[in-house]
Structure 1
Amino acid sequence: MDIYKMSSFSKNEIGGNKAGVVLDADSLDEASMMQIANQVGYSETAFVMKSDMADFKVRFFTPVKEVDLCGHATIAVFNLLKQLNIIKAGIYHQETKAGVLEVKVNDENVYMEQNQPVFYEIISKDHMKHCFNNFMMDYICELPIQVVSTGIKDIMLPIKSLEILLSLEPNLELIKKISDEFNVTGIHAFSLDTYDNNSAHCRNFAPLYGINEESATGTSNGALACYLYKYNNKVNKFTFEQGYVMNEPSEINVEFNLKDNNIERVYVGGKAVRI
């Protein structure tokens, strides 16, 4: 069985977030998929199967757990399918544990639909301030700390400056504990200061799922775009930077369909290259 290795959301053909992709995975049981994902060792590996309700069924595994949805692995899957001439540009649907979601494939990028945003609890600064070993009392800015999901729940953590964001040293055990407490995948820290005049610069920490830091997270940035639309900037297109501190620069695009100024559909997009 072939295991393809892809890098999604890469900026200028470098960086990005690596994902494994296994096609024609219908014969694999859950234990086999878990074993393969562990051996591949990337933050997620996607397994593509036949579906009775969509064009494809896709399951996503980290090295230690299955997750309902993964943005960068979806981008990897559909870029690969296009590169192998299995599909052409057009609109497709994938069955996932987060529901049946639309995927738009064009000549340049792949955009995946996410669920409509759900805004959960707001968390106090005092509760979060020790998540980083070198924390400063005022390193969190005045935007709310909130759990948001467009398919996977993450804590949106606003940081005052790019300099502070890049210097953060995660306390992985405490982040695990807080992630478990709030039933989230991890912490998505961001600053509105950026290198390239983009919407935000991000760092993502999900040690509960075996991912100490991830260089590009599609679902988290889909949630962040909805958060920023609610609290900061009423636009329908966002571009996020991530992975720079890991020397894997990444660029993630998010677009909305709006109706009466409400978010009706969320799409996360980017390109992927084969490794």
Structure 2
Amino acid sequence: MTSGTLYRLSAFTTTPQGGNPAGVWVGEVLPEPETMQRIAAEVGFSETAFVAPTVGYDRTIRYYSPEAEVSFCGHATIATGVVLGENNGEGTYQLATSVGIVPVSVCQRDGNYEASLTSVEPRYTPAPSTLVNEALSALGWTQDDLDGSIPPARAYAGAWHLVLAVAKEQRLAELNYDFETLKALMLRDGLTTLQLVWRESATVFHSRNPFPVGGIVEDPATGAGAAALGGYLRGAELMTAPTTILIRQGEAMGRPSQLIVDIPVSGGIVVTGKAIRI
């Protein structure tokens, strides 16, 4: 069996009680897929990242939820960046994901390591009305709940997400969905999470992310979804780049998370956060 070291961290927070927990496994070579899947299930967090080798700035990384491999995971990438910083020092690590190279810049700030990932090139498509209607039905929402200024979209920055923006904060606060129905819909459409957002101001968003395809009811911090949202806002010209937005997530779950999203004029979206050992 391939040997490695397993770390447990919470990303997008500076306290173990906040953020999104992730496993980070580091070894000389990646385990077999079935072994990575078993480890991820045993860890039980929404994702575990597997990284090899143990030295150098060029690494290979794969991501597994308790139920399946995931093409890209932002919070586990931030957690990985912090582990690499703690073990190997500051710098920019080039992570070869299954969807492309994701640079992760790691530095120390205020006594904690901070990591900034740059996503692969984002893209989006308007969400088909049938997909939106089925998702709204599973959520127990209606078209009247949506914010017309941010139309529903399928957005990608390493993984696909359905972006649904609501007009009122209270609608986002009440999340009680049909797990199996939404899971089947998402599997059929190739979605990793739903990026459910409410825009508090021009630069502050609140987000909740159902993740039934990973066997998780809700993700407390979704870096891949944050990058996808940033790419969609820029691509659809709903925001003028360059700009920076803050996404607040996990608060309704008691695991507050803060995701800083830098949206450049072109290229990948930059998502920044800290992570702490748990």
TM-score scaled by length of structure 2? 0.88
Moved more, 162-171 or 239-248: 162-171
* Cross-structure match for 2:183: 176
Q: CA deviation at 1:121?
A: 4.0
Q: CA deviation at 1:181?
A: 2.7
* Cross-structure match for 1:49: 52
- Please list the CA deviations of residues 104-156 of structure 1 after superposition, one character each: whole Å capped at 9, or x if unmatched: 112232111111111124232534321213x3451122121110101100000
Moved more, 168-177 or 116-125: 116-125
Structure 2 distance, partners of 1:11, 1:200, is: 20
Q: CA deviation at 1:211?
A: 1.9
Match of 2:8 among 2, 5, 9: 5
Q: CA deviation at 1:201?
A: 0.2
- Please list the CA deviations of residues 86-109 of structure 1 after superposition, one character each: whole Å capped at 9, or x if unmatched: 1x2222201110111211112232
Structure 1 distance, partners of 2:35, 2:15, is: 35
* Cross-structure match for 1:162: 169
- Please list the CA deviations of residues 171-213 of structure 1 after superposition, one character each: whole Å capped at 9, or x if unmatched: 212211221232211211000027xx85200000120221210
* Cross-structure match for 1:213: 218
Q: Percent identity?
A: 29
- Are the equivalent residues in 2 in contact too, given 1:54–1:100 (CA < 8 A)? no
* Cross-structure match for 1:94: 95
- Are the equivalent residues in 1 in contact too, given 2:67–2:213 (CA < 8 A)? no
Moved more, 169-178 or 63-72: 169-178
Q: CA deviation at 1:256?
A: 2.8
Structure 1 distance, partners of 2:184, 2:173, is: 23
Structure 2 distance, partners of 1:16, 1:50, is: 27
Match of 1:251 among 254, 258, 262: 258
- Are the equivalent residues in 1 in contact too, given 2:10–2:275 (CA < 8 A)? yes
Q: Which amino acid in the other structure matches residue 111 of structure 1?
A: S
Secondary structure at 1:216 match in 2: coil
Q: Which amino acid in the other structure matches residue 239 of structure 2?
A: N
C-alpha root-mean-square deviation of aligned residues, in Å?
2.2
* Cross-structure match for 1:270: 273
Q: Cα–Cα, structure 1 residues 25 and 69, in superposed 2: closer, same or farther, change >3 Å?
A: farther
Match of 1:26 among 19, 24, 29: 29
Structure 2 distance, partners of 1:137, 1:151, is: 28
- Are the equivalent residues in 2 in contact too, given 1:198–1:241 (CA < 8 A)? no
Secondary structure at 2:209 match in 1: strand
- The 5 A counterparts of 1:104-115 are 104-108=105-109, 109-115=114-120
Q: Cα–Cα, structure 1 residues 256 and 128, in superposed 2: closer, same or farther, change >3 Å?
A: same
Match of 1:201 among 195, 201, 206: 206
Q: Which amino acid in the other structure matches residue 93 of structure 1?
A: Q
* Structure 1: segments with no counterpart, 5+ residues: none
Match of 1:138 among 137, 144, 151: 144
Moved more, 35-44 or 248-257: 248-257
Structure 2 distance, partners of 1:27, 1:95, is: 12
* Cross-structure match for 1:40: 43
TM-score scaled by length of structure 1? 0.89
Secondary structure at 1:106 match in 2: strand
- Are the equivalent residues in 1 in contact too, given 2:260–2:273 (CA < 8 A)? yes
Secondary structure at 1:237 match in 2: strand
- Is 1:16 the counterpart of 2:22? The answer is no
Structure 2 distance, partners of 1:159, 1:205, is: 15
Q: Which amino acid in the other structure matches residue 133 of structure 2?
A: D
Q: Which amino acid in the other structure matches residue 181 of structure 1?
A: R
